[in-house]
Chains A and B, each alone.
Chain A
Amino acid sequence: MAAKILNVVGVSKTFGAATVLSEVSFQVDRGETVCVLGPSGSGKSTLLRCINWLERPDAGDVYLNGARVGVMNDGRLMLDRELSKARTRMGMVFQHFALWPHLTVLQNVMEAPLHVQKRPHAEVRDEALALLAKVGLADKRGAFPAKLSGGQKQRVGIARALAMRPDLILFDEPTSALDPELVGEVLLVMRDLAREGMTMIVVTHEMAFAREVASRILFLDRGKVVETGSPEAFFTNPTSERARQFLQRYADRPIANP
């Protein structure tokens, strides 16, 4: 059996009167790409943010490599300082890129490895340059984020996440803010990562990508995991009515996914 990197157990979250997540449980094996699908407002992004404790779950636990995230052994909630270690094990890629605007592309990639992980400068720099080459942006290393296209920004975002040598990467709708013609370049990079065995959880609306790349689909609706399974089973023979309706709506769209 492959090693479980992530174990999410009964995570619930409410905002005021709205229940956003309701006892969500799932596990992720090393090397898996789990695509989280579901209608808008189904709690997909909140689920990602609960995994690295950007949002504190109201109930439930998250275990990373067997260690509980966010709660000390004595039951006390962790401070950001104590959460820092677990967070550096989980890279995150944001819908709106969230690059640091005052730093160059290369500095963005080097910032956390240097100043959070305190790794040696020469090593971090070599690795950052290699990662920028990998995402096709070696020539942009001195540019500031404001000068990049959306697709380039998101590829920097991916290199930034990889630079921490994380155990898994959380992708929060990484292509939703992109112009349609820029989506492909980001998905290509993500597909290569998946093939190289990076563990990834991807919240996305790109059905073609999910179908091709996911090892497993997690379908969320109204804060609950309604269906989980292989992409083949999910897309050809969904068991739940909600998933059928959801897929039907995509199939009915006048223009197919790129």
Chain B
Amino acid sequence: MIRDFGVVWSERGLLLEGLENTAIIAVVSAVLALAFGAVLTPALRSRHRLPLWLARTFVDGMRCMPFLLLVYVIYYGLPSLGLRLDNWGSGLAALVLYNTAYMAEILRGAWEAQAPEPAEAGVAFGFHGLGLFRRIVLPPLVLAAGPVIGNQMIQIIKDSAFLTTIALSELTHAASSIQSRHYVPFAAFITAVFLYWGLCLLVEAGVSALGRVAEVRR
């Protein structure tokens, strides 16, 4: 067994590259999903029927679809419609689309729990449209929703493991390669588990830092 971990150690370059790719795709997807989710949030609270219906349909559709299936649709399905994305493009698109829905729903929930007065004061002081949303409405939402956004970030990290199925060289893919090359399944996979855990601890640390920022701004 110790020897197996020695084998994994000898392949550390491959594992670290996988870890790096997992971190990159998770961070990029989380940032984009949060940004797109923020854009989608007002539509989820729209008084107009069409934007409300479109946003609702998208959010519910995404939340009810298995993530792996979305990856397959984008990577294997879309080329038959003439849209061909490579494995990085497909993986990123899937993670961003999927989590935009969650982020929008998270922000909508936080919005409903906010007191209406500060936003109303924004209107009374002349803010409107995007400026009102970006400067007055959104910051307290992100602060209030910090822990839930962090939780979703962890979900993104874990979901990114599915991208091994389209040969994206992330952490699970690296562990898989090492095990099939040397037949050390336990050592390879358990090492990957601990590396995922490490990533999630970083997210937790970020969330508690955000929590301290939010604490004084309630």
Which residue numbers of A lie inside 8 Å of B, CB to CB?
A: 52, 54, 79-81, 83-85, 87-88, 90-92, 94, 96-102, 111-112, 115-117, 144, 146-147, 160, 164
In the complex the two chains form, is B140's CB within 8 Å of A116's CB? no
Q: Contacts A100-B136, A111-B135 hold; do A117 and B126 have CB atoms under 8 A apart?
A: yes
In the complex the two chains form, is A102's CB within 8 Å of B120's CB? no
CB distance from A157 to the nearest CB of B (A): 8
CB distance from A233 to the nearest CB of B (A): 32
In the complex the two chains form, is B117's CB within 8 Å of A98's CB? yes
* Contact indicator per residue, chain B 121-154, by CB within 8 Å of chain A (1) or not (0): 1111111110110011001100100000000000
Judged by a CB distance under 8 angstroms, whether B218 is at the interface is: yes
Contacts of B143 in A (CB 8 A): 102
In the complex the two chains form, is A102's CB within 8 Å of B217's CB? yes
In the complex the two chains form, is B126's CB within 8 Å of A54's CB? no
CB distance from B143 to the nearest CB of A (A): 6
In the complex the two chains form, is A115's CB within 8 Å of B127's CB? yes
In the complex the two chains form, is A92's CB within 8 Å of B216's CB? no
In the complex the two chains form, is B118's CB within 8 Å of A100's CB? yes
In the complex the two chains form, is B135's CB within 8 Å of A98's CB? no
Q: Name the CB-closest residue of B to A81.
A: B128
Judged by a CB distance under 8 angstroms, whether B113 is at the interface is: no
In the complex the two chains form, is B135's CB within 8 Å of A101's CB? no
CB distance from B110 to the nearest CB of A (A): 13
> Of B117, B118, B124, B217, which one neighbours A144 at CB under 8 angstroms?
B217
Contacts of B217 in A (CB 8 A): 101-102, 144, 146
CB distance from A111 to the nearest CB of B (A): 7
Contacts of A88 in B (CB 8 A): 125-126
Q: Name the CB-closest residue of A to B141.
A: A102
Q: Which of B115, B117, B118, B121 has the most CB of A within 10 A?
A: B121
Counting residue pairs across A and B whose Cβ atoms lie within 8 Å, the total is 75
Q: Name the CB-closest residue of B to A145.
A: B217
Q: Name the CB-closest residue of B to A97.
A: B117
Q: Name the CB-closest residue of A to B114.
A: A101
Contacts of B132 in A (CB 8 A): 80
Q: What 14 new A-B contacts, CB under 8 Å, besides A80-B132, A81-B129?
A: A54-B124, A81-B128, A87-B123, A88-B126, A94-B117, A97-B117, A98-B117, A100-B118, A100-B122, A102-B217, A112-B125, A115-B127, A115-B135, A116-B126
Q: Contacts A80-B128, A101-B140 hold; do A146 and B216 have CB atoms under 8 A apart?
A: yes
Q: Contacts A102-B139, A147-B216 hold; do A112 and B123 have CB atoms under 8 A apart?
A: no
Report Cα–Cα, A85/B143, bound state, in Å.
Answer: 30
> Of B118, B127, B218, which one neighbours A116 at CB under 8 angstroms?
B127
Report Cα–Cα, A79/B123, bound state, in Å.
Answer: 11
Contacts of B218 in A (CB 8 A): 101, 146
Report Cα–Cα, A52/B135, bound state, in Å.
Answer: 21
Q: Contacts A111-B135, A146-B218 hold; do A54 and B123 have CB atoms under 8 A apart?
A: yes
Report Cα–Cα, A216/B125, bound state, in Å.
Answer: 26
Contacts of A111 in B (CB 8 A): 125, 135-136
Report Cα–Cα, A114/B211, bound state, in Å.
Answer: 28
- 12 CB contacts below 8 A, A to B, read A52-B124, A80-B132, A83-B128, A96-B115, A97-B117, A98-B120, A99-B118, A100-B140, A102-B140, A111-B125, A112-B126, A160-B125
Q: Contacts A100-B118, A101-B218 hold; do A85 and B139 have CB atoms under 8 A apart?
A: no
Report Cα–Cα, A85/B128, bound state, in Å.
Answer: 11
CB distance from B149 to the nearest CB of A (A): 15
Contacts of B125 in A (CB 8 A): 87-88, 91-92, 111-112, 116, 160, 164
